[in-house]
Amino acid sequence: MTLAAAYAGAPVSALGTAAAKHSRACAHRPASTHAHRRGRACRAGGHGSHAQRTHARGQHKGARGSSTPRVARVRSRARVGLLSSQQRSARETSVQQALATPCANTELTPNAENLQLIRDAVQCLVNKQRAQHSEAPLLASAQLQAAAESHTEDMIATDYFEHVSPSGVTPVDRMRASAYIPSEQVGYVVGENLAWGTLSLATPQSIVSAWVASPGHLANILESHYTETGIAVVASVPASLAEGAVGATYAQEFGVIVH
């Protein structure tokens, strides 16, 4: 399998080409209204984070590790929460169910008629990966899916492959527009993984495998704070990257809202 950064212009192999990117951001409720939370911080590469800043556009090159992702991870210093025995039991049950559930349609090539099957396959593969690390499965969020869909459609229409659009729209902006982040008065931890692939590298299995092979993307998949996800797939690749080959572009949003 050949993976290349979006801008690298790697040749199309018999298997196809692919690339992936990831991003994270977090914010806390305003200190003025929640003074007892003052002092909590998000960090990314040594810099503070706030609601308007999205960090970490790490780039994954090479399935064989031909380069190291430049990852600036944002971690929330969230409050410690204790699970009740009932909550712990429910979590363990959901993990076991995810492990036991086979993922269907993982080798499908995306087209206009099968995109729901593709989304379901990606979510199943991601949740299975989480379950293998004892993390609870993510629930589908219509608002996060809307944010993901707006981004994949814009990347195809405008011909780019980045977390931030040419007009400056960030993942957090998209999540606000879709009402996933409902107001300035809530905290959140959110993330985004992107990928495109052509030919056989456009399948859900190939895309998720590429994410798992990249530390930055895997960190988003396994982040314990996240509870929800939204996935979008377009059966097309930005024209400047596709080199005439058929393929697909993927976006997966992750999040949790802290009320």
- Rounded to the nearest 10 degrees, what angle do helices 115-132 and 85-100 cross at? 120
Give φ, ψ of 84 to 5 degrees.
Answer: -70, 165
Please count the other Cβ atoms lying within 10 Å of the Cβ belonging to residue 25.
28
Residue 119, pLDDT above cutoff 50: yes
Closest by CA to 64, choosing from 4, 8, 147, 6, is: 4
Model pTM score = 0.73
CA 175 to CA 66: how far, in whole Å?
Answer: 33
* Kind and range of the H or E run holding 48: strand 47-48
| Domains of the chain as residue ranges with CATH | 85-258 (3.40.33.10)
For the chain, the 3-state helix, strand and coil shares in percent, each to the nearest 5, are 35, 25, 45
Across residues 134-146, what is the average pLDDT?
97
CA 78 to CA 39: how far, in whole Å?
Answer: 11
Residue 140, pLDDT above cutoff 90: yes
Say which range, 10-14, 109-113, 134-138, 200-204, has the weakest mean pLDDT.
10-14
The β-bridge partners of 194 are 21, 251
Across residues 219-224, what is the average pLDDT?
96
pLDDT at 213: 96
Amino acid identity of 242? A
